[in-house]
Structures are given as structure tokens and as C-alpha cells.
Amino acid sequence: MSIPILKYSLSTQNQRVNSFEYLAGEEQPKIYTTENLPSAYEMDEIIWAAYRQIFSEHQILSNTRQIFLESQLRFNQIKIRDFIRSLLLSDTFRFLNFDINNNYRFVEICIQRALGRDVYNEREKIALSIVIASKGLASLVDFILDSEEYMNNFGDNIVPYQRRRIITQRNKGEIPFNLKTPRFDKSILGPQTSPQIMWSGAIRKFRPQELSPKAGDPALFLNMVNNI
């Protein structure tokens, strides 16, 4: 008999309050969606946005790509929600996030990247950790992506994003979730290569315009990670 999910109250956070910001700016998220029959270039942007949201920029590697799923998404055989679900259940995501963290930290990562917000409180973190412990990782992903909150905000065709980064009485919003310091396992916490050597190696391997794929063509990024 499975354990029912623990009840928890919903805290008042920015994403639960109607927005009053009407002017576009860097704090306003860009919506990536397949609802309007995107072009090939726009589909590249959508796929890149999905990888950036789920894996964060510091986790995107050549083995992160899911070529078959990308093809299915391009030909409208699956929805963005299906693509997001498959990324969350991929071996790479599990290795980079689940295997090296406890259940509480993993719940935080999934909520931030799939629902675009922080966990409400410790009770939500504990409740969803129990889902992992009793039913497994796939059940947690299904619980999040099939939730009313996810469907109301993103539905089947919108890439998740960090919702409402504007904070009351602050000049700037929160740090984006995908820029926060990652947590690594013990094998990576030892002596690292000199930053100067790493940087010079990057210069030799990539052309200058390729060192910052976010600022350039998303298709350029997808080609770049294939060559790593």
C-alpha cells in the first residue's frame, strides 16, 4: 500500500500573485512555445531553452542531448511536456542531479526547473521526498508534470521558466535558478585544473563567438556540444 502524499500549506510567493509589471525587461521571461507553428530556427531556440531550463547551463554537455526526442518534437510527434518529462527521466539528469544529492535537494531542483519556483516550505519538500522514497523518481516527475499548477502555467506546449523574478521592494529580481552554484559529488571536489589552463584550452578549442552560445545562435550551441 502506497503512502498518501503529505498535506502542506501553500506559502505566498511571487509566482502566486498577479503581475503588475507591464514593461518588458531582463526580469521578464521569454516564452518559448510550439503553439504557433515555429520555424526551424525557432524550434532550435525552443529545444535550447528546454535544455537550459532542465539541465542549467553548467550541466549541458554533449551526452545531455536527446537526438531522438528532438526529432520527435520537431515533427510534432510529442509535445514539449513530453520532451521535458523525458529529460527529467534521462540517465544524464539522474546522474548529474539525483545520484549525487539527497531526496530533499533533488526535490528542490525538480520544483525549480519544472515548475519555475522554489519549494514553498519544508513540508512540501518532505512530502515530495516521500513520493521519491515510496514510489520512485518517475512518480515524482509524473506528480509534478501532471499537476494542476504545471498545466495552468505551461500546459503541453510551453517550456517551463522561472516565474516572476521581480521581488517587492527590490531593484533587481532573484538570481536565476540555473545560475546558482551547482552541487557536485566527492569525485569533483578534489584539486581542480588551473583556471588559466582551462581557459586557454577553451580558447584553442572554440572560436571566440562560440564561447558564449547563449548570446549567439542556438543552433551553433547544439552543433558545438556535439563536438565536445
Domain that holds residue 76: 24-187
46 & 65 share domain: yes
Q: What does the pLDDT read at residue 144? A: 96
Q: If you average pLDDT over residues 112-131, what whole number do you get?
A: 91
Can you tell me the distance from the alpha carbon of 199 to that of 68, in angstroms, rounded to the nearest whole number?
32
Can you tell me the distance from the alpha carbon of 106 to that of 20, in angstroms, rounded to the nearest whole number?
32
pLDDT band at 37 (very low <50, low <70, confident <90, very high): confident
Decide which of 222 and 143 is more confident: 143
pLDDT in tens, 171-216: 444 555 555 545 544 444 444 444 444 434 443 444 444 444 444 5
64 & 168 share domain: yes
Q: What is the DSSP letter of 151?
A: H
Nearest to 73 by CA among 45, 31, 97: 45
121 & 182 share domain: yes
Which of 8-17, 69-78, 170-179, 199-208 has maximum average pLDDT?
69-78
Considering the chain, what is the average pLDDT of its residues?
74
Contacts of 15 (CB under 8 A, 6+ apart): 116, 117, 163, 164
Assigned domain for 148 exists: yes
Nearest to 87 by CA among 66, 56, 61, 117: 66
- How far CA 218 is from CA of 22, 46, 66, in Å, comes to 28, 9, 15
pLDDT band at 96 (very low <50, low <70, confident <90, very high): confident
Helical ranges in 56-121 per DSSP H: 67-74, 80-88, 91-93, 103-110
Which of 17-21, 28-32, 55-59, 224-228 has maximum average pLDDT?
28-32
Assigned domain for 174 exists: yes
Cell of 105: 535537494
182 & 225 share domain: no
Assigned domain for 13 exists: no
Can you tell me the distance from the alpha carbon of 118 to that of 219, in angstroms, rounded to the nearest whole number?
30
Can you tell me the distance from the alpha carbon of 139 to that of 128, in angstroms, rounded to the nearest whole number?
10
- Give the CATH number for residue 118: 1.10.3130.20
Assigned domain for 4 exists: no
Q: Are 131 and 106 in contact (CB under 8 A)?
A: no
Q: Are 116 and 164 in contact (CB under 8 A)?
A: no
Q: If you average pLDDT over residues 75-84, what whole number do you get?
A: 95
* pTM above threshold 0.75: no
Q: What does the pLDDT read at residue 201? A: 45
Q: What does the pLDDT read at residue 163? A: 83
Q: What does the pLDDT read at residue 90? A: 93
